[in-house]
Amino acid sequence: MTSGLSEKAFVMFQEYIEDQCGIAIGKEKAYLIESRLTKLLVEKKLDSFEELYQLLSSNKDPKLAEKMIDAITTNETLWFRDKTPWQVLEDELMPSYIETIRSTGRKIRIWSAAASSGQEAYSTIMCIDQYLKSHFIKDVTLHDFEIIGTDISGPILEIAKAGRYDPISIMRGLDPKYKELYFNNEGRVWIIKDEYKQHVTFKRFNLQHSFHGMGKFDVVFCRYVMIYFSQQFKKEMSKKLSDTLRQNGVLFIGNSEIFPDYKEHFEMKQYQKGVYYQVKE
């Protein structure tokens, strides 16, 4: 164990974290608990992780659980992360979505299931907008698409909802041309324009919960989150994700992620240098 975190405290937090958000932290990553929760010890003026755990489990401080989840989750994200999803969306999916909208009038629903500060969801609306403009499509508009972003962390979702980005975040992965097209600039802050923001909604959602209330989706982005989950939870996720997808629905996970349990519910499709997963019939 680490110097400040006893074996007993590690096990208590390990179980608490897995129970609250599905994140499985092995012994070799005990330092993560210590480094990320130390600021809560300081804030609460406590001397030990045991005391922090007691406060947490006493429910005397309801905001503490939320702060813990925020501290323990990794919110790393960027614009247009990995090439594959955007290429697949443009080349493979958009042509059929345009046909579906034209023939049925229904909306295409896309879920960014671990949305962090919103880059994935807003990249999606930018990608769709670019497609419609570059193909001179006028009868189908952004109103025919519904993008939902969810995350377990309340504070990170506040950034997503505001759509406000600092000079460093705005640069990461975003073509400078898009910065001018899709954002307004207020001093050092870049704010997504309302005409694009209105098509994206964000809400708090824990992936451990049932997906039934979310409805059916054409696409789910569930990227760089399952890597933190246990094997058992990944397996459950595979089933829940397949159930929430429509016929021919598509799942994107991160390019560098391994998804060993896909075979029962998904078919892996190769696209250029990457892969995506299509739900089985």
Which residues are near ligand SAM by CB under 6 A? 21-23, 73-77, 81, 114, 116, 120, 151-153, 156, 206-208, 223-225, 254
Residue for token pair 């992936």: 207
CB hemisphere CA count around 194 (13 angstroms): 0
- What gap in Å lies between CA 252 and CA 112, rounded to an integer? 10
DSSP symbols for 45-78: T-S-HHHHHHHHHHTSSHHHHHHHHHHHS-----
Nearest distance from residue 148's CB to ligand SAM, in Å? 13
145-151 and 164-165 beta bridge pairing = unpaired
Q: Which of 81, 234 has the CB closer to ligand SAM?
A: 81
Residues contacting residue 109 through CB under 8 Å, at least 6 positions apart: 145, 146, 148, 215, 216, 217, 218, 219
Nearest Cα to Cα of residue 120 among 151, 150, 78, 148: 78
Closer residue to ligand SAM (CB): 70 or 90 = 70
Nearer to ligand SAM, 129 or 151 (CB): 151
Q: Shortest gap between Cβ of 182 and ligand SAM (angstroms)?
A: 17
Nearer to ligand SAM, 156 or 241 (CB): 156
* Nearest approach, Cβ of residue 100 and ligand SAM (Å): 25
Q: How far is the CB of 210 from ligand SAM (least distance, A)?
A: 13
With beta carbons less than 8 A apart as the criterion, state whether 79 and 118 touch. no
Q: How far is the CB of 72 from ligand SAM (least distance, A)?
A: 9
Full DSSP string of 108-173 = EEEEETT-TTSHHHHHHHHHHHHHHHHTT--SS-GGGEEEEEEES-HHHHHHHHHTEE-HHHHHTT
Question: Which CB atom, from 21 or from 94, has the smaller least distance to ligand SAM?
Answer: 21
- Cβ 281 to ligand SAM shortest distance, Å: 27
14 or 101, CB closer to ligand SAM?
Answer: 14
